Structure formats: structure tokens, C-alpha cells
Structure 1
Amino acid sequence: MEDATPRWIAAMRDARYDDAWAIERAIMAQRDPATRNDPSLPYHCRWVWDGRSPDGRDVLVRCHHGLGDTIQFARYLPLLASRARSVTVEAPERLHILLRAIADVPLLAFDPARPAPPAALDIEITELPSALRVPPLAVPVPYLSHRPAALPRGTIGLCWQAGGWDRDRWVPEELLLPITRARPCLSLLPGSTALPVLNPDGCALDLSTTAALIAGCPLVVTVDTMVAHLAGAMGRPVWLMLKAEPDWRWNPQALRSDWYPSARLYAQQRAGDWTGVVDRIAHDLPGFFHHGSAENNDGQPAQPLGARLLG
């Protein structure tokens, strides 16, 4: 059987979403229904949705992927709620404060040992674009907001490490010294750092605190991790440091992303070359601040109609 994953990745990166969704449905048609939500697999490796439309049904949205994935696809929850009979979301409890600000739906704490019982239609949150057949640009951004922390004007938020699951997304912190010398900076990571930042002891492991810091920064520079999704969901300018062959959602040949219009992509030109990435960012920083981008983006951005405020 052909592995359709490369074709799907190419379609997603090229914004050929109808093609990507057709590939997904072809894959689904070849699956054995008995393997759906297979308890022998880790939650993030399971397939949950059976391909039926969520329209008019009681839907349980399961958030079995990472925090960043949930934030990325939570943009679809209000639309889903308008089309389904009812929507309940099962997600890690630490995400509930964000999800409440995005959609007015019941929330369940995800306990891997005791998952919620099935509903009329179960779907993993990452499957919502295909189920609803709605591309990312059709969903307004920002879809999340937070009161900004009080920070020195022009502060850059920095995040240079992803989780331990992918050490290729770790940037040696000393490479960021040119950025910290150019502007006041703060760390968006837990734990201490030797970098000359405003918070050398690091950022509290709390999503509301992190969101407040991001809201107060005119620019966030980060690797591909939850911080990137949180900044993008809030419409904050975010410069994304990517490895040469990044995750499917980022096109390494592009400068922008359909998922987050406020993002600018900086992919490695050679595998492992973070120096080149940081050099390009340092080169572009003066233009960002000189041309007023930062002045127009200090603190909380303009709110779209109906936006809710966290905190």
C-alpha cells in the first residue's frame, strides 16, 4: 500500500486543502473500522473520527495531541458549535483557561486512565478542518486574547527549546546573544538561563502567565513549539525558527503561513544550522522596529468583534 503521507504533506504546505482532505478520506476508507481508537496505541497515534459529518450531531472533541496542536485547531470550535447539535471538548485541564476564551462549550479534563465515553460522533481536534471542510484562512485571527503584562517598551519574547521529544528543535541559547544585545528580552521558557534577559529564572509554567507575557511583547522569536501557536492565535508578531525539514504545517520555502498571518518563517538552509537562522533574524530586527511594526503592536492588539479576554 502506498504511503500517502508525503503527498498529504505537500498538499498542506502548498495550501491545496481540498487535495489534502481527499487524501485523508482515501486513507480513512482503507482503514479497518475495528482499529478506530485502538487502546493498544498511544493516544496521539490513534485515529478517532469515522468520516461522518458533525452537522446536527452530538460531538465529542478529543484533544490527544500536544498543547500547541490543540491551540492551533481550537480556532474551529466556534464553527463546530454552530453546526453540531452539541459539542463537548475533552482536553488537558491546563488548557481549559484558553479553550473557555475561544468557545462556549462544556469542557472535560482529559485523564488517559479514564477517557470520556464515546458520543454520537468522536473526533480528534486536529481532524476538524477536514470534517468541516474549512481552510485556516477562513477562520479569523486572532481568536484568542489576553491582558498584556507590563514590560519595557520593545521587549522581545524568546523561546529556544521545544520539548524533549525533538532535540532538533533546540537552539543553543548562546546563539541568541546578538538578539539580547539589540533589545530587552525575556525568556518564555521555564528554568534558568545565562542569557541577559529580564527574567533569568525563567517563565512560570502557567499558560495564563505565558499568554500575558506574549501579549506584552511587540515580537516573539521562538522555535516550533506551543509558544509559537499561542503567539499566532493571539495575532502577535512571531518569528518562527524552523529546522530544515520542519513539521507538516510549515512550508520551509515560504516566509508566511496560512495558519498564522502574523508569523514570519525562518527555516534552516542547511540541517542543523541555527547560526544562519539567528543571523537572518538579527539582520531583520532593526527594520522591524525602525519601520513602526513594533510601535503598532505593543501590548494588546485590536480585538475582533466578539473576542473574549482572558485573565
Structure 2
Amino acid sequence: MASTSQLHWVVGDLRISVGPSSSDQPWSLDVDVTRASTGQVESMLWDANAPHGLIRREVRPQALQKRAPAFRERDLLILADQGVGDIVQQWRYVPSVARQFRRVRVQCRPELQRLLRRQSPEIETMASGESRDDSADVHVSIMRLGSLSRDSSRGNAYLATHRPKPAPGNGRLRVGLNWITSNVGVAADVKSLPPVLFEHVLRDYPGVDWVSVQWGDDERWLSRQPWAATVEQLGGTFADVADLADGIAGLDLLISSDSAPAHLAGALGVPVWTLLSRPCSWRWGLVSPTTPLYSSMRLVRQTKQGDWSGVMAQIHRMLASILRLSGQVNFLLARPWEDMPLDAFDERATSRPDASGGNTIRSTSLDEALRICRENADWRAAFVFYPIALLEALGVPVWGRDYSGLAKVFKAMVDCHEGFSWCTPLRN
């Protein structure tokens, strides 16, 4: 990394370097992660105001909107070059941002275009390699829209499909399955789970109509398994993401790895149980079984790195609860399993602690505040959702161009999450 690096450290096979944004953006850091054994390098950007994700960094960084434009004054190009799940998640911000511009274009992969046009016909879509006759006034990654607009969805459904949900016919639950999150890369090993783990679930619950929504060639594996003979295989019928969304909209419940189908279900308001690796994507926090991103989603987490047996045991118990309740999926979603507490992370992170309270946590320095967040489980869980707001609540504000402080905050995020979901965990 360049000499502007503010912080670097080595953990296991990974060298992490952090420094000021090369595009001179406040609240943002350049992050480079190098794997020593292979020489592979990930060059990314971290935005402290949208702290749950890392954005691939461009060689020539595009300008981010720095002020609100005059009403419908300018053109906007949204760069949607992330994974399908990321783009679905971030689409919640697009309508409110788009209303500020005269013309809006979204540059994305072709298989997403039909779904996105359904949501906002006035927004133009274009392929990543498509030439542009005229350049936009403002370019922004879709992953940074959360720093430009509030989430008006409040976790409720914000995507629509053209296929109405079928009326219940035989009284059986229609439950979808998805197990592979990526065909290539380390994420496939970390976040995906072997489909054979579903064998006992399918055998134990023959009264469920099981449906595969696994898109691509991976679904063919089911055809060779006698225990999967009754599974309806929809994945092979999907031509694009719009078809995938239509298939998910026809389910009563989806059980999925951390992948695009899980995001689609959440964005459509379809109940979904998302199976999470350890470490998992930062967006899911640390311990909560729920997420503010999607009110219809429940998170089922690995308790031991690489071990899916506990996750599948939890799925067994949850399915048993559903069937005892005569298929009332929403009832189970309204009360998470095992009476797990749902802490008010949002309120805790954005409210200053009461100075008169006996349990007030005081801090006199950024290092001390970060130590508190690392060591206290409740504060740690709040910190990873809203790091800047929580530090301000602790009396230690970090400013947009305090790159040294932001680098320390980023390192604390890595430590609290025990790594990244797309690479070897930093800590076992």
C-alpha cells in the first residue's frame, strides 16, 4: 500500500493495510488485504457511515455525491457491480436517491436488469461493459447509498414480482432450499453448506413440499440422490434474477445459505431462515437472531467455525415448531426460538448513556472506548452495527477526516467480527 497507510497488521496468512481514501472522501478508508500464501490482493473501500460492507476499489475512483443537487438538476449513474445479494439489499435506497436527479442509470449485470426495471421503470439499466454516449454528472457505488439516504423500508418488503403467490391448495407448507452461495472463491467454502445435510430434514418432514431454488448447475446434484426424489427443482427454470424472485415469491418459507435468494426473500417479505457461517458477513452483526435489514428473516448461526451440525439441529427444532402450529410460519417468526433476547441495538447505539446511571460506561480516549467495545458483549454487539454513533455516545467522537481514528475503528470492527466472510478467519 502507499506510504499514506495509517495502520497495518498481520494475522495468520493475511496482511491488512488501512489508510485514507485515495479519492479524498471523508469517513472513508482504503483497505488492502494480501494473502501471503498466494499473493492475492483485495483492494477495497470502507465507508464508516455504511460500515457493514467493503466496496471493491476502482483504479480511477469515481466522484461521490457531496451535496444534495438542485431538484432534478443532474444525472446519476449507480454502479451496481457487487454480488446480486448486495444489490438487492441496497436497492431499498435507490428510489429516494433517484428522486433527486433528472436522469438515473444503473450499471449492472444483464441478469439483474429485468427485475430492476420492474421496480422502477423510469430508471435506465445498462450492462457493465456497455459504452456510454454521455457521462453522468455523479457516479456512486450502490454500496454507498446508505450514507446518502435513510432506509425508508424499516425492514419491510420493498421489491415486487409479477407472479402472485399461489393460493393454498393441499394445506402443505411449500419450503424452498438453497445451499450454494458462490461457485468460485473462498466464500463458497466458508458460506456454503453441503446439500447432503438436508437429507435428514427431508426424510423427517415428508409432509412438506420441498422446492429447490438453487440456480445453476449445482441443482443437478439432487437428481442423483434417492432421498431428494420428491424435491421440485425450480433452479433450472430460471433465466434471470426476475425468474428467481418469482419462484421465491411462491414459497411459504425459504431456508438458504447467505446468498442472493436469502436477500430476495427478505426484500419480498417472504419468511426466510438464513444459515450463517462463522465468521459471517458484517451486515448480520454478531449474535442476534434478527436483522434490521429484513423483518421476515431469521438468522441461524454457526457456534463453531465450519460446523453446520448445530445449525441443522436448530432447523429441525424450528420446523417441528411450525408443524405443531399447523403451518403458521409467521407465528414462529414473531417469536424467535429458544427465547433468545432481542436487544435494542439501534436505541443503544444512537443514544448517549445516562450520565447519572450507575452502569454508565465512561471513556476518555478512543483507545479506551474501543477496548470497552471489544470486551463488553452488549456494547460489542451495538458497536458493529453503528460504530461512529456508539463512540459519540461514549463521549469520543471520531471525525470524517480523522483517518488515524477511523483506521483504529476499522481494526476494532475486524477484531469484533473475527475476520471477513470472504477469506480465512483471522481468529479461531
TM-score by length of 1: 0.75
- The change in CA–CA distance for 1:2 and 1:247 in structure 2 (over 3 A counts) is farther
Task: Read off the aligned partner of 1:185 and give its amino acid letter.
Answer: W
Q: How many angstroms does 1:169 deviate by?
A: 1.6
Asked if 1:142 corresponds to 2:164, the answer is no
Query: Which segment drifts farther, 166-175 or 120-129?
Result: 166-175
Which of 135, 158, 164 in structure 2 is aligned with 1:118? 135
Unaligned runs of 5+ in 2: 9-24, 32-42, 46-54, 333-428
Matched residues, percent identical?
25
* TM-score, normalised with respect to structure 2: 0.56
Work out which of the residue numbers 319, 325, 348 in structure 2 matches 1:285.
319
Q: Is the counterpart of residue 156 in structure 1 residue 181 in structure 2?
A: no
Q: Is the 8 A contact 2:156 2:267 kept in 1?
A: no
Mean alpha-carbon deviation: is it higher for 211-220 or for 76-85? Answer: 76-85
- The Cα shift of 1:140 comes to 4.4
The answer for unaligned runs of 5 or more in structure 1 is 5-23, 38-42, 298-311
- Matched AA of 1:109: M
Structure 1 residue corresponding to 2:87, chosen from 30, 55, 70? 70
Q: Distance in 1 between matches of 2:94 and 2:88?
A: 11
Q: 1:107 to 1:86 in 2, by over 3 A?
A: closer
| Amino acid corresponding to residue 232 of structure 2 in structure 1 | N
Q: Does 2:57 correspond to 1:48? A: no
Aligned length: 268
Q: 1:86–1:111: structure 2 CA closer, same or farther, 3 Å change rule?
A: closer
Instruction: Note if 1:294 corresponds to 2:299.
Output: no
Instruction: Supply the distance in 2 between the matched residues of 1:137 and 1:108 (Cα, whole angstroms).
Output: 23
- The Cα shift of 1:136 comes to 6.5
In structure 2, the residue matched to 1:204 is: 237
1:25 aligns with 2:41: no
User: Is the contact between residue 146 and residue 215 of structure 1 (CA under 8 Å) also seen in structure 2?
Assistant: no
| Farther-moved stretch of structure 1 (260-269 vs 140-149) | 140-149
* Aligned-partner Cα distance in 1 for 2:131–2:154: 35
Structure 1 residue 54: Cα displacement: 4.8
Q: Which stretch of structure 1 is more off in the superposition, 187-196 or 278-287?
A: 187-196
Distance 1:247 1:3, change over 3 A: farther
2:196 corresponds to 1:174: yes
- Correspondence for 2:212: 187
The letter of the residue matching 1:209 is: D
One-letter code aligned to 1:101: R
Q: Which moved more, 1:231-240 or 1:92-101?
A: 92-101
Judge conservation of contact 1:187–1:202 (CA < 8 Å) in 2.
Answer: yes
What is the letter of the counterpart of residue 186 of structure 1? V
Q: 2 CA distance for matches of 1:139 and 1:83?
A: 23
Match of 2:285 among 247, 251, 254: 251
Shift of 1:51: 4.5
Cα pair 2:81 2:108 within 8 Å, conserved = yes
Pairwise CA distance, 1:244:
1.1
Q: SS of the residue aligned with 1:83?
A: coil
Instruction: Decide which structure has the larger Cα Rg and report it.
Output: 2
Q: Deviations over 1:116-174 (max 9, x none)?
A: 75311101111111022x14654742333341465863111000111122121221111
Conservation of the 8 A alpha-carbon contact between 1:242 and 1:267? yes
Please give the secondary structure, in 1, of the residue aligned with 2:98: helix
Pick aligned residue for 2:100 from 77, 83, 86: 83
Between 91-100 and 109-118, report the one with greater CA deviation: 109-118
How do 1:264-283 residues align onto structure 2 when only pairs under 5 Å count?
264-283=298-317
- One-letter amino acid matched to 2:237: A
Pair 116,198 (structure 1): closer, same or farther in 2 beyond 3 Å: farther
Which 10-residue stretch deviates more, 81-90 or 146-155? 146-155
Kept after mapping to 1: 8 A contact 2:108/2:126: yes
Give, in whole Å, the separation in 1 of the partners of 2:297 and 2:330.
17
